[in-house]
A and B are shown apart, each in its own frame.
Chain A
Amino acid sequence: MAVVDTNHDLKRSPRSEFVAGVRAELPILLGVVPFGMIYGVLAVSAGLSVGAAMAMSSIVFAGSAQFVGVQLIHAGAPGMVIVFTTFIVNLRHILYSASIAPYLAQLSRRWKWLLAYLLTDEAYAVTITRYNQESASAVKSVNRHWYLLGAGLAMWTTWQVSTAAGIFLGAQVPSSWSLDFTIALTFIALVVPALRDRPSVAAALSAGVIAVLAFGLPYKLGLIVAAISGMAVGLWVEARLLSTGRRREREDSR
């Protein structure tokens, strides 16, 4: 007799989960390759040694933080400011960590430590999509952590190879090409499409204006001041939208 089990444990092998993770990551990696190469070129032209530029890709392993870090090193910012800026730039990973944690809760410590290292924007994006789909259809694959491992290692390998290629090229690119401008362009490409609601527009505009006003602050602190004020303004707009929304609901129900 066939029993329909809605809450079945899927026995996908570790190998098939791993391969599926690598496959899902591939399209994203097409965009990662040039991004990594640009980082490599910039790191060398910012004055980092080849060894330090390579080491940043494996020790930090976070694209936007590496771009910002290289830019601040180039501008001569003090170490503490660079570390604190890294913290702010990477804060969004708390959200990734929180949303993926329930799916990894039963794993050993070693697995958690390894997978946390591989939790980049790119690996997170494909993995959380898969996990959410599985849980929506009540599927529980016992080897699903291998999927994240596959996506994460595919990303890691691509990042190391493409940044190395950029570092190798970087030494031969003349500064008259203004390649440092690609940092600002990259950030424009990331931030502009995300400005789809009023709080994020408010946060972006106020942070930008304050960054210009606070540019003269010592130790490049203007960036941190601007980022925190921008977040505060965004939160304030969000709270105001919510409270006017609630008032309207109350008036409608009368």
Chain B
Amino acid sequence: MNVWLLLICMGVVTYAIRLSMIGLIGRVNLPSVVQWALCLVPPAVLSAIIFPELLMPKGTLDLSFGNLRLLAGALAAAVAWRTRNVLLTIGVGMVALWVLQAVIPH
């Protein structure tokens, strides 16, 4: 797909979702099962991206200590759990990866 057509489709989809309830109807109560499902979207989607990034950085499953991204990611997850700070999590994870890359031959 042409990149510009792709951008427009992504934009239309995003905008349609944001406009949905504002534009169509004034007062809508979503059924509670739909609300639950929507609350689960972020953890499900984001984890589906994170796990392969950490567990299979070269395309195959790698649970060894040679997998530096897994080590740095686990440390970042601990920081995120304790501090809930986005920037600190990114910073610690990135520095950890650089240090590991410098120390451990890969």
Instruction: Give residues in A with beta carbon < 8 Å to B.
Output: 31, 34-35, 38, 48-49, 52, 55-56, 59-62, 64-65, 68-69, 71, 73, 78-80, 82-83, 85-98, 100-102, 104-105, 109, 112-113, 115-117, 119, 177-179, 181-195, 199-201, 203-205, 207-212, 215, 222-223, 226-228, 230-231, 234-235, 238
Contacts and interface: CB of A to CB of B under 8 A. Distances in A.
Interface string B19-60: 111110111111001011111111111111111111110010
A119 B16 CA distance: 11
B18 A211 contact: no
B6 interface: yes
A65 B10 contact: yes
A207 B45 contact: yes
A65 B44 CA distance: 14
Given A189-B90, A192-B81, A207 B43 contact: yes
Contacts of A80: 1
B47 A184 contact: no
User: Could you say which interface size class chain B belongs to?
Assistant: 35 or more
Given A234-B43, A234-B44, A119 B18 contact: yes
Contacts of A207: 43-45, 47-48, 51
Contacts of A115: 22
B17 interface: yes
A113 B11 contact: no
Given A94-B30, A199-B40, A230-B40, A211 B3 contact: no
A190 B18 contact: no
Contacts of B43: 191, 194-195, 200-201, 203-204, 207, 230, 234
12 contacts: A38-B90, A90-B13, A97-B21, A98-B29, A100-B21, A101-B27, A116-B18, A119-B22, A181-B94, A184-B93, A189-B85, A212-B51
Contacts of B30: 94-95, 98
Given A31-B87, A60-B11, A208 B48 contact: yes
Interface of B: 1, 3-11, 13-15, 17-23, 25-30, 33, 35-56, 59, 61, 69, 72-73, 76-77, 80-81, 84-87, 89-90, 93-94, 97-98, 101
